[in-house]
Amino acid sequence: MISKSRKIIELLAGDAQADKVVPPTGFTASLTLFSSAAMAFLAVFALALSLATGRLADRWGDELARSSTLRISAPSDQMAAQTAAALNVLNTTKGVATARALDDAEQRALLEPWFGPDLPVETLPIPQLIEVIEDTGGFDADGLRLRLAAEVPGAVLDDHTRWRRPLIHAATRLRLLGWVSLALIGTATAAMITLAANAALAANTQVIAVLRLVGARDTYIARAFVRRFTLRALVGAAFGVVLGTAAILLLPSADTGGGFLTGLGFRGQHWLWPLVIPPLAAIVAFIATRAAARRTLKDLT
Amino acid sequence: MIELENVAYSYGGGELLSDISLNLQAGSFHFLTGPSGAGKTTLMKLCYGALLPTSGEVRLFDRDLRTLERDDIAMTRRRVGVVHQDCQFLDHLSVSENISLPLMVSGRDVQGEAANLKELTSWVGLTDRASALPAELSGGERQRAALARAVIMSPDVILADEPTGNVDWDMSQRLLKLLLELNRMGKTIMIATHDLALVRAAKSQVQARVLRISGGQLQLAGADL
């Protein structure tokens, strides 16, 4: 990869003499620039999707893995005693960092999406919830359940495994989808540049024949085309990245919207990732055009 | 320099050339004559590796053409200057750029060769037309520019395919004079032509070997000229 990158840099540095040899081709130039810009624009979004879902998966995994909920269902006259007993069990369990019973306001907030505000939770026979935060070592859920069954009969421990797993699975799949999209964008870019390069090579068959006649080697001829398409892909992709990044910046922020889609974007060092797209597009164009040129030249004397 | 031994070339199901043997020795001067379609251009192309023989052996500078890689053929062509009847210029480049094309593709510094290029352009009488495009040149000017391009690398062999095909008598004499001058410099020359008057004019000035293609065979001509 390093030697390929060096070749590309040497190629882009150029040879003013060699550049003159192939006549300018407006159609393929515009096609390559446009497709490269469009693909880079899409690549920015695919990249943002991958990174955002990656962050989401990490956050869900991290937050949910460290918290559990204990639900106590008991008659109202026993609720306080069972809550105290449960807290006692939890506070003496190895691996539990903190255990805290949710107050009425917090329980009301949890029910608010279904029952609306100002729900009189104190008058309703609803279970008491206790938030359990693990330390880094975590606790033995099965052992804790056995202790609770003996000391707090109305307690049910939910360590979130049941619904954490599909969430993380979904986020991981979304991240994978983002990377697959990036791969498809790269392949589509290569296909389009190959088509444009083939068109340019076909349009310049006579030029190639003259160059062969006067002693040009295949590498010299290929280089003239490869340089042109690599530069166009680089410039087009740079343009697409600028537009794509600007579009990402214009998306509503996560704080105001609060939903998943509004979190689509880059954070911190991730803003540097789009800068990788133009050089990658140039590498794809370099490889695609060189392969196309080699195929075409092989058939000419 | 260039040797063909029992070479045959088939095209479109028929044998265009058969049992051709030819040796272009250093400093020699050859004419290749024959009617249109006899295979003169095909034979010329075999001589610079643009075509591979169906059978027989072509040796370019002591190397079998069939063993040469594509890059080797390209390097060989730098030692063989070719003048095509239709000149084969790059239409978007000026005359001087077309003439210096072999320098460009061989990686030589064209700016550094400016004096030689100027001298060569003057030698073919195109100093005033150096910045013109090929489409702006007359037939004779195009042929002289093609000749200048063919010799700019100082090749050992010059192959000219109907170089006087599209020019008047005076211009054909001028081109012949340039080719004779190159032969006196030690270059090997082969001219494919159907213009027997040109051959007769040359024979009075140089010891030329005149070959004729007829019925796919190469024969030594001369007595009837």
Q: Quick one: which H or E segment has residue A129?
A: strand A128-134
At residue A240, does pLDDT exceed 90?
yes
What's the pLDDT at B222?
A: 62
Q: What is the mean pLDDT of chain A?
A: 83
pTM here?
0.71
Q: Which residue has the higher pLDDT, A269 or A162?
A: A269
- Residues A181 and A184: their CA atoms lie apart, in Å, by 5
- Residues A191 and A206: their CA atoms lie apart, in Å, by 25
Among chain B residues, the shortest Cα distance to A213 is held by B77
Contact call for residues B180 and B206 (beta carbons, < 8 A): yes
CA distance B106 to chain A (A): 7
Task: Give the Cβ contact number of residue A291 at 10 Å.
Answer: 15
As a whole number, mean pLDDT of residues A173-200 equals 88
At residue B90, does pLDDT exceed 60?
yes
Q: pLDDT confidence of A257, banded at 50, 70, 90?
A: very low
Contact call for residues B88 and B59 (beta carbons, < 8 A): no
Find chain A residues with C-beta within 8 A of B89's C-beta. Answer: 210
At residue A230, does pLDDT exceed 50?
yes
Angle subtended at Cα A164 by Cα A60 and Cα A263, rounded to the nearest 5 degrees: 30
At residue B56, does pLDDT exceed 80?
yes
Question: How distant is the alpha carbon of residue A270 from its chain centre?
Answer: 10
As a whole number, mean pLDDT of residues B119-147 equals 89
What's the pLDDT at A234?
A: 93
Q: Is there a contact between A215 and B90 if contact means CB atoms under 8 Å apart?
A: no
SS3 percent helix, strand, coil of chain B, rounded to 5, is 40, 25, 35
- Residues A295 and A230: their CA atoms lie apart, in Å, by 18
At residue A134, does pLDDT exceed 80?
yes
Minimum mean pLDDT among A32-41, B100-109, B167-176: which range?
B167-176
Ranges of each domain in chain A? 2-55+175-299, 74-153
- Residues B55 and B7: their CA atoms lie apart, in Å, by 6
As a whole number, mean pLDDT of residues A22-49 equals 86
Cβ burial of A103 (10 Å; 0-12, 13-18, 19+) is exposed
User: Considering just the CA atoms, what is the radius of gyration of chain A in Å?
Assistant: 31
CA distance A202 to chain B (A): 15
What's the pLDDT at B225?
A: 53
Is the Cβ of B101 closer than 8 Å to some Cβ of chain A? yes
Q: How are strands ordered across the β-sheet holding B63-64?
A: B14-24, B2-11, B55-60, B63-64
Contact call for residues B178 and B81 (beta carbons, < 8 A): no
Q: Tell me which of A10, A15, A17 to substitute to probe the interface with B (most B C-beta atoms closer than 10 Å).
A: A17
Highest mean pLDDT among A52-56, A257-261, B133-137, B177-181: B133-137
Contact call for residues B1 and B188 (beta carbons, < 8 A): yes
What's the pLDDT at A13?
A: 61
What's the pLDDT at A268?
A: 84
Chain B from 145 to 184: CB within 8 A of any A CB:
149, 153
Helix (H, G, I), strand (E, B) or coil at A75: coil
What's the pLDDT at A258?
A: 47
* ipTM at complex level: 0.85
Minimum mean pLDDT among A29-38, A56-65, A172-181, B171-180: which range?
A56-65
Find chain A residues with C-beta within 8 A of B110's C-beta. Answer: 17
Q: What is the mean pLDDT of chain B?
A: 87
- Residues B95 and B161: their CA atoms lie apart, in Å, by 20
For the four alpha carbons of B216, B218, B222 and B223, in that order, the dihedral sign comes to negative
Is the Cβ of B197 closer than 8 Å to some Cβ of chain A? no
- Residues B99 and B137: their CA atoms lie apart, in Å, by 14
Q: pLDDT confidence of A11, banded at 50, 70, 90?
A: low
Is the Cβ of B133 closer than 8 Å to some Cβ of chain A? no
What's the pLDDT at A282?
A: 92
Q: How are strands ordered across the β-sheet holding B217-220?
A: B80-83, B157-161, B188-192, B29-33, B209-214, B217-220
Contact call for residues B56 and B5 (beta carbons, < 8 A): yes
Q: What is the dihedral of CA A187, A188, A191, A196, to 10 degrees?
A: -140
Q: pLDDT confidence of A16, banded at 50, 70, 90?
A: low
At residue A59, does pLDDT exceed 90?
no
As a whole number, mean pLDDT of residues A248-272 equals 70
What's the pLDDT at A300?
A: 73
Token code pair at residue A232: 């166009």
At residue B58, does pLDDT exceed 50?
yes
Among chain A residues, the shortest Cα distance to B90 is held by A207
At residue A18, does pLDDT exceed 50?
yes
CA distance B75 to chain A (A): 6
Q: Measured over all CA atoms, what is the biggest interatomic distance in chain B, rounded to whole angstroms?
A: 50
As a whole number, mean pLDDT of residues A145-158 equals 88
Cβ burial of A161 (10 Å; 0-12, 13-18, 19+) is exposed
As a whole number, mean pLDDT of residues A242-246 equals 94
- Residues A9 and A6: their CA atoms lie apart, in Å, by 5
Q: Measured over all CA atoms, what is the biggest interatomic distance in chain A, rounded to whole angstroms?
A: 103
Backbone φ and ψ for B86, nearest 5 degrees, come out as -95, 15
- Residues B101 and B116: their CA atoms lie apart, in Å, by 14
Is the Cβ of B16 closer than 8 Å to some Cβ of chain A? no
- Residues A67 and A79: their CA atoms lie apart, in Å, by 22
Contact call for residues A225 and A201 (beta carbons, < 8 A): yes
Q: Is there a contact between A23 and B51 if contact means CB atoms under 8 Å apart?
A: no
